[in-house]
Amino acid sequence: MGHTGTVWSIAYSPDGQHIISGSTDSTIRIWDAKTGAAVGNPLKGHGGRVRSVAYSPDGQRIISGSSDSTIRIWGAETGVAVGEPLEGHAYTVQSTTYSPDGQHIVSGSNDQTVRMWDAFQHLSVQPSSSNLMRAGFCAKPGRDGWIRDSDGCFLYWVPRDCRTGLHSPALLTIPLTSCHRSVSLDFDDIAFGTSWAQIFRVAPS
């Protein structure tokens, strides 16, 4: 099964393994570049024709622009919409692309404007830990204090009294105006998955 409407836009993944396509049937599809077979189910969420599609530079996300005047961000592996639609254009979003560093999204619309968006500000979840360490992106803690990856899984927890001053350059840092002074997070020895339990040590009796 393929699209049921005209295909308006296509793009290769950065590694050349997949192709994405956007169609007037309001869906995005992912294809195996070697076999031409559809990968997973259509990406559904737009309320209008999908006019443009693009991959993020790291291949982890897909963006799409639609005649519903919105831009959507999708997990490239999961095919699930990430965060809320980017809203601001008054008419059809004709073109979308990522900046080379992956930190911004640029869109062009029939409303005769070009908009630049923070690629992570509008997400309900933040970049995965592997991307965080490789590209310098940084997540912010949720209301419960947990930092989560792009799939919503727990990464680490930030104490309540350290949350309000956090900002995100290359590392999460508590600024000098904080009573805690300067505190950075070092990911060199971070324990992932079930290995987190290995960090506990029994106190000497």
**71, 115, 18, 23 alpha-carbon torsion, rounded to 10°:** 50
Dist CA 153 CA 155 (whole Å): 7
Instruction: List Cβ neighbours of 144 (8 Å cut-off, separation of 6 or more).
Output: none
Whole-number percent of the chain with pLDDT over 90: 45
Give pLDDT tens digits for 2-47: 899 999 999 999 999 999 999 999 999 999 999 999 998 999 999 9
Reading the block at residue 51, the tokens are 């006019």
Domains of the chain: 7-118 (2.130.10.10), 129-199 (no CATH)
Model pLDDT for residues 38-50, shown as the tens digit of each residue: 998 999 999 999 9
Give the C-alpha separation, 154 to 166, whole Å: 18
Strand residue runs (E) in the chain:
7-12, 18-23, 27-32, 38-44, 50-55, 61-66, 70-75, 86-87, 93-98, 104-109, 114-118, 146-148, 154-157, 173-174, 183-184
Share of residues in the chain with pLDDT > 70 (%)? 59
pLDDT category, 167, cuts 50, 70, 90? very low
